[in-house]
Amino acid sequence: MVKDRMVELLQEHFELNLYEARAYVALVGFGVLTPAELASVSEVPAPRTYDVLRSLEKKGFAISQPGKVNKYRPVHPENILEKFIEEWQERIKEELEAKKKAKEELLELMTPLIETEMPKYGVERVWVVRGIRNATLKTKEMFETVKEKVLLADDGYIAVNLEKDLLEAVNRGIEVKIIVAENILPRLKASKLLDYAKEGKIEVRVLDKFELPMLICDDEVFFALEDMAARYFNYETQIWIRDFRVRDLFEAKFNEYWERAKPL
């Protein structure tokens, strides 16, 4: 129903709760209402009408007319919705600036800790990374710190969703070889990766399928454990290893795939 859609939009985008949204729609429809009248023409419970109307007034969606019984009329939707958006934009701008300042302050405060603790990170050889968001962050970090070459056998999201990071690595002079599974090739049709491949800046080959997707950046190896249930819930387990011996094993497997794969 149209009324339900109006209520839904007011809740989702204009910070009104369910009863406030229903009350405002009723006010727009009827023009002027007392709390008792609101209860009779809307789905706002009678005990809540006073509080709901006062809240609408406080938020700028309604105006009250004092009297023996208060009456309320709506502020015109075009006016209040536009005003809400303007205030929201200003609020977001202020929040964004506050977050940027907080980031700069945190980086300044944490610099001594980073400089002190960084050598400890170099000792780590194996990490378990769970969830698509954490996996993406780890992958981006690998692209940012790679010095020589990237080998990617991808049957999922990396080449498509981290295109920008891959291209930045290429632009820094990193050697990049990519094998993509045939089923994700259509998703790369509009990708700049293919433009770079045509220009000879990267090498891309296609393989019908492979059992071990992987990302190799210098001595770092990143791969997912096969778990369809975890993948369905975006919580699959990824393994990151930094060890030249493990790298050699995975690179040998990558080269097997590369020999079987077809050039674009």
As a whole-number percent, the residues of the chain with pLDDT over 70 amount to 91
Structure confidence at residue 62 (pLDDT): 94
pLDDT for the residue numbered 123:
54
> How much is the pLDDT for 121?
47
With a cut of 90, say whether residue 209 has pLDDT above it: no
SS3 180: strand
Name the token pair of 5: 């859609």
DSSP bridge pairs for 151: 177, 216
Q: pLDDT above 90 covers what percent of the chain?
A: 51
The distance from CA 244 to its chain's CA centroid, rounded to whole angstroms, is 33
With bands split at pLDDT 50, 70 and 90, how would you rate the model's confidence at 233? low
State the CATH class of domain 2-74: mainly alpha
pTM, whole model, 2 decimals? 0.56
Domain positions in the chain: 2-74, 121-263
Least confident of 17-26, 198-207, 235-244: 235-244
Q: What is the pLDDT of residues 78-128, one digit of tens each?
A: 999 999 999 999 999 999 999 999 999 998 888 887 665 544 445 568 888
pLDDT at 81: 94
At residue 146's C-alpha, the angle toward residues 140 and 149, to 5°, is: 115
At the top level of CATH, which class does the domain 121-263 belong to? alpha beta
